Amino acid sequence: GENVEQHPSTLSVQEGDSAVIKCTYSDSASNYFPWYKQELGKRPQLIIDIRSNVGEKKDQRIAVTLNKTAKHFSLHITETQPEDSAVYFCAATPNSGGGADGLTFGKGTHLIIQP
Amino acid sequence: KAGVTQTPRYLIKTRGQQVTLSCSPISGHRSVSWYQQTPGQGLQFLFEYFSETQRNKGNFPGRFSGRQFSNSRSEMNVSTLELGDSALYLCASSLVLSGEQYFGPGTRLTVT
């Protein structure tokens, strides 16, 4: 099955700086890669996703890049703000619609924004 | 649209008992997935239901089971509870099988 590795486990950045979280996956059949943000005591919230037919996707201060050859994808947050502090999870799935194995998640990155 | 809802939000059970958790998906969503979240193992996929049929299953023992009703609501059952079953159980709904998933608030299960 799929295996997703996520780094770093903790990331502390100054407010206003950029943050980058990286994930690698093992199953070359995976073609859907979402990112979730989970604040303490809250549900995971889908913040951005990318499919394997594109290499980059942006939504305001958030961007995701995908390198299918190297089997890695990254989350980029620019101009970080205190409300960006949370645990971020990457995930991957074949999403074939007929034999997918659900989302396989990374272990999470605790992002801390220092004022 | 109302989001995904789960009941109950908190549950305390004793080893050996069984428990049933409920999930109501976003209106119009036909797929419901269940995940277990623990500090040690993170988020792990349990199973996914679509059109009342289990389509995918994760690597969990047979004590974990589920079902989906014709209105897409889903229930998850855990029998013969063990201490290690203490976790946050999250369900997620999506419009189509294995599509973009939106999570509910979870049910916090504590087994004593």
List, as one string, the DSSP characters of chain A: ---EEEE-SEEEEETTS-EEEEEEE--TT--EEEEEEE-TTS--EEEEEEETT-SEEEETTEEEEEETTTTEEEEEE-S--GGG-EEEEEEEB---SSS---PEEP--EEEEEE-
Any chain B CB within 8 A of the CB of A62? no
Looking at the DSSP assignment, which residues form a beta bridge with residue B48? B33, B56
- Per CB-CB distance under 8 Å, the chain B contacts of A101 are 45, 56, 58
Q: Which of A23, A27, A39, A43 to mutate to test the interface with B (most CBs of B within 10 A)?
A: A43
A23 and A5 in contact (C-beta within 8 Å)?
yes
Query: Which residue has 């049933």 as its token pair?
Result: B20
Q: What would the two tokens of residue B87 be?
A: 């976790």
Q: Could you tell me which of B99, B45, B49, B33 has the C-alpha nearest to residue A104? A: B45
Residue contact A103–B101, C-beta within 8 A: yes
- With cut-offs at 50, 70 and 90, classify the pLDDT of residue A98: very low
A47: nearest CA partner in chain B: B102
Q: What's the gap between Cα B7 and its chain centre?
A: 10
B97: nearest CA partner in chain A: A97
The tens place of each residue's pLDDT in chain B, 112 residues long, gives: 789 999 999 999 999 999 999 999 999 999 999 999 999 899 999 999 999 999 888 999 999 999 999 999 999 999 999 999 999 999 999 987 767 899 999 999 999 9
d(CA B77, CA A110): 31
B97 and B55 in contact (C-beta within 8 Å)?
yes
Size (chain B), residues: 112
φ, ψ of residue A67 to 5 degrees: the values are -120, 100
Size (chain A), residues: 115
A77 and A61 in contact (C-beta within 8 Å)?
yes
Q: Could you tell me which of B73, B94, B79 has the C-alpha nearest to residue B22? A: B73
φ, ψ of residue B22 to 5 degrees: the values are -120, 145
> What digits encode the pLDDT tens for the residues A23-80?
999 999 898 999 999 999 999 999 999 988 789 999 999 999 999 999 999 999 999 9
